[in-house]
Homo-oligomer: A and B are copies of this chain.
Amino acid sequence: MQRVNFDHIAETVSNWGRWGDVDARGTLNHIGPEALLRGASCVTTGKAFALGLPLDQNGPQLNGYRFNPRLYATALGTPLGPQTTACYSDDVIHMPLQSATHWDALSHVHYDGMMYNGCTAATCLNPGGASHNGVEHLARDGIASRGILLDIARLKNVDELPADYGVTVDDLRAACEREGVIVEAGDVVLVRTGHLRSFTLCGDRERFNGLQAGLLPETAEWLFDRSVAAVAADNLAVEFVGPETLSGEVALPLHMLCIRDMGMPLGEMFDLEALAADCAQDGRYAFLLSAPPLGVTGAFGAPTNPMALK
């Protein structure tokens, strides 16, 4: 993206200082009792959907730079004592914190040397994690609010959006209208592109990790204007990834606008298929979403197993 166009949006959506100089929760501050109560009031049929992908060697990562989780047993049916048949088994995991279903922390990306809320990247980023904007700030009070599914694939009457399709503000508006929802302050927006199916149904990791449909940078303003608390999607990066998304003057522009300027966590690889099918069936696209990340101190992101409760 060209810097001049980017800067225009960035100025508009910046939340630096809005919640104080040391704030590290960003737009999660929009979640108040009202938003949570609004979410709880959506629980009317008692259905629960877990949106996290399985964490194992068959996950979506290509096993290069980011790999799929590795589990190692450390005890396998080890007796608990000399006189007992009682045994236990233990294990450890080794995994990238940006693999499978996860939240990007506000320390995950930056530009011009500054992270969200004016932290200097050079001094905040360390081999053991970030001293500011780590995911623990998102985890401490958690993420629970009303969730809204904006099913763009369904809006376009496709299973998956084409890889070269950028979701526009008009698409978001049209989805709201079609679904009969009004996004309010503190809501968490879940965007369905259908792209996850390239992995979950087709097992095509190359395609899943390649160019893909997602939100265009200008949607940041729409999210900002509605005081959305967080946005997640069923693709790799929430945002549209085209041939120029990683080159040009501003790489991953929506990441930069949301995470660095607005302080808005991005949720990636949320498995929205079953939830979307249910929403399509009963016509209710709002629910209670409880999706706290694990509280890994200093982490640039952390896995979550989000629950959508209807």
Contact = CB atoms under 8 A, between A and B. Distances in A.
Contacts of A185: none
Interface string A68-90: 01111111110011111111111
A249 B86 CA distance: 8
A179 to B, nearest CB: 21
Contacts of A110: 77, 86-87
B288 A305 contact: no
Interface string A249-265: 11111011000000000
Nearest to A75: B127
A111 interface: yes
Contacts of A295: 50, 52-55, 305
Given A73-B126, A73-B127, A126-B73, A247 B32 contact: no
A109 B125 contact: no
Nearest to A253: B86
Contact of A83 (B69, B89, B248): B248
Interface of A: 31-37, 40, 43-50, 52-58, 63-67, 69-77, 80-98, 107-113, 121-122, 125-130, 136, 139-142, 144, 246-253, 255-256, 288, 290, 292-301, 303-305, 307, 309
A290 B307 contact: yes
A13 to B, nearest CB: 16
A81 B251 CA distance: 7
Contacts of A246: 80-81
B290 A144 contact: yes
Contact of A88 (B47, B74, B109): B109
B129 A52 contact: no
A121 B52 contact: no
Given A43-B37, A144-B309, A294-B52, A97 B86 contact: no
A142 B101 CA distance: 14
B91 A142 contact: no
Contact of A76 (B40, B49, B111, B127): B127
A112 B85 CA distance: 5
Nearest to A94: B94
B249 A309 contact: no
A248 B298 contact: no
A77 to B, nearest CB: 5
Given A34-B46, A52-B139, A86-B111, A293 B307 contact: no
Given A73-B126, A252-B86, A298 B48 contact: no
